[in-house]
Structure 1
Amino acid sequence: MPITPFHFGLGAALHGAAPKTVSFLSFCAANVLIDLEVLYKLMQRQHPLHAFFHTYIGATLVMIATICLFMGMRWFAARFWLPDLLSWRSLAIKPVALGAGLGAYTHIVLDSIMHTDIRPFAPFSEANGLHGLISLTGLHLLCMGLGLFGLAALSLRRLRAKGDKT
């Protein structure tokens, strides 16, 4: 399934551990942009599904594109009305860049473990030393567990913030 939410579990954990340092929104955006390649390839019935954007070179370009997209939207929003869903306008560039980078590179790591057709170091190497490092079930459970940790950490922070206000 392209654009799987399992990747977001790691992003939730990173954001939950450091919410002012890692943008969950840019983490997710980078993941979605990378998996648009798979969606396109599925629709065109092309193989391999995990190609250029599922390499570290491709992920670097996606990270840059995510940051540029954010900056472009911020520029556009200063001139025209855009909805501020998820408070994206208040995000600083550093958390956006870190979230995009972590999102892009961890996407490659997680997919390298899971998929046989990924070549993360292409064009320099066809090797994928991470494939099968842990079972698919184990990987999914890890991602879900990290997501629950992230949600718990964020919830605890909000409860503490409310307690400090009263």
Structure 2
Amino acid sequence: MGAVLIVKPSLDQRISLIAFGLAQIAMDLEPGIRMLIGADGVLHGMTHTILGALIIAAAVVLMAPPIGLLILKRWNKEATYYKQKWLVQSGVMTRISVVTGALFGTLSHVALDSLIHQDIQPLFPFSRANPMLGLLSHDTVYLLCFLAVALGLIAWVIARWRSSRTLADRMPAHDPVSVSSGFWKTWTWDLRSTWFWMLLFAATPGVLYGASLFAILALVAALLLHVPRSRSRISNKGGSAKENLKRLSIAVLIPTVTLAYVFTVDKQIPKYAMPIVKAIESFRAEEGHYPPTLEALRPGYLVKVPSVRATVFQPQIRYRVTDGKPYLAIPSAYGDAFAAHEYDFSANAWVHYQ
């Protein structure tokens, strides 16, 4: 937070601390998930590029206002209750503050991490070079961030104490934070139920398990439920045709993006599973037979079973030896319920059965 606190006193209402904080959380989701699943090597992938940062910033711009307004409401209520009116904030998140906070949050994150992490390629896909790596040491970067937090926080407190008391005095004791009308309200707050259910039933299974079934069902349900309503000009309990069209857009977008992610991840399974194949072949070359189980490969041939899918929970790898012939298969999200990536040891190739 040091990067934003050092500029907050001068930019004030033109940059949102909440949007900046949400951007930091969003940026660290990928390395966090990779650490949870035990991914080796690269922790900072596409999200830690300039292009990825811009995409994440756009998502934060959409999601920050409804979340931020709830936080502001609670903050102002607590500040008023404890009679600290100088801490009361404006109840409106302006578009410029959200955009500035989101962009500054994601781009500064990439810049700072590029200084100290070797696996970051900030210019990808245009270049794999990292011209910023090593310009400052790891300890220096953290020291500068700490100093920025301390100095920025002091400057912000002083600025708030001197300039915000008038705003606090004008605000009623229990003034609810208003959700301003416009783009943010109509596309986020008014449609929050659609966002919630689509993210829960379509995106969450895809990110956690690499499952495509729920996203497909959500997409089909969206088309069946919302298309007829969107074509109608008559308002009903579900809202006007215009509102239904917005809900349809969200209900189609989230499952579609989820399916694109799941299928892309699924295609990488053979690549990530190759260390298992090599370990099995090495075992056979030295022992004269295939290992009875994957556990027999540890630790001499395989330190640990690698993560084969970029999801939080890994699929169950099926391996057995029957009549001296090995069988290695990994469930696939692309195809029916019995789809799998199977390795043909005689042909030395992966086969995708759908």
- Same fold? TM cut 0.5: yes
Higher relative CO (Cα under 8 Å, sequence separation at least 6) belongs to 1
Match for residue 146 of structure 2? 144
Match for residue 26 of structure 2? 33
Q: In 2 relative to 1, CA 22–135 (structure 1 residues): closer, same or farther, beyond 3 Å? A: same
Give the drift of 1:44. 1.3
Structure 2: stretches of 5+ with no match in the other structure:
76-88, 168-354
Match for residue 162 of structure 2? 160
Contact 1:11 1:28 (8 Å CA) reproduced: no
Give the drift of 1:133. 0.6
Q: In 2 relative to 1, CA 114–85 (structure 1 residues): closer, same or farther, beyond 3 Å? A: farther
CA distance in 1, matches of 2:14, 2:163: 18
Which secondary structure does the structure 2 equivalent of 1:132 belong to?
A: coil
Q: Work out the percentage of aligned pairs sharing the same amino acid.
A: 28
Match for residue 47 of structure 2? 53
- Aligned pair partner of 2:6 in 10, 13, 26: 13
Match for residue 16 of structure 2? 23
Larger radius of gyration: 2
CA distance in 1, matches of 2:135, 2:58: 29
Match for residue 4 of structure 1? none
1:107-146 pair list within 5 angstroms: 107-146=109-148
CA distance in 2, matches of 1:114, 1:17: 28
Contact 1:23 1:91 (8 Å CA) reproduced: yes
Contact 1:11 1:24 (8 Å CA) reproduced: yes
What one-letter code is carried by the residue in structure 2 that aligns with 1:54? H
Give the drift of 1:49. 0.3
Give the drift of 1:163. 7.7
Give the drift of 1:64. 0.1
CA distance in 2, matches of 1:121, 1:104: 14
Which structure shows the higher helix fraction? 1
Give the drift of 1:114. 1.1
- Aligned pair partner of 1:42 in 30, 35, 46: 35
Q: In 2 relative to 1, CA 147–124 (structure 1 residues): closer, same or farther, beyond 3 Å? A: same
Match for residue 85 of structure 1? 74
What one-letter code is carried by the residue in structure 2 that aligns with 1:113? L
Contact 1:23 1:99 (8 Å CA) reproduced: yes
**Residue deviations 1:76-124, cap 9 Å, x none?**
x8xxxx5633468521111010010000100000000010100011111
What one-letter code is carried by the residue in structure 1 that aligns with 2:74? L
CA distance in 2, matches of 1:44, 1:152: 39
CA distance in 1, matches of 2:46, 2:144: 26
Give the drift of 1:16. 2.5
Give the drift of 1:164. 7.2
Give the drift of 1:162. 6.8
CA distance in 2, matches of 1:31, 1:159: 27
Which secondary structure does the structure 2 equivalent of 1:19 belong to?
A: helix
Contact 2:22 2:64 (8 Å CA) reproduced: no
RMSD between aligned residues: 2.4
Which structure shows the higher strand fraction? 2
Contact 2:18 2:64 (8 Å CA) reproduced: no
CA distance in 1, matches of 2:49, 2:126: 10
- Confirm or deny that 1:68 pairs with 2:57: no
Contact 1:16 1:149 (8 Å CA) reproduced: no
CA distance in 1, matches of 2:146, 2:13: 22
Q: In 2 relative to 1, CA 133–88 (structure 1 residues): closer, same or farther, beyond 3 Å? A: farther
**Residue deviations 1:121-161, cap 9 Å, x none?**
11111100111111111111111111112111111112213
Give the drift of 1:51. 0.2
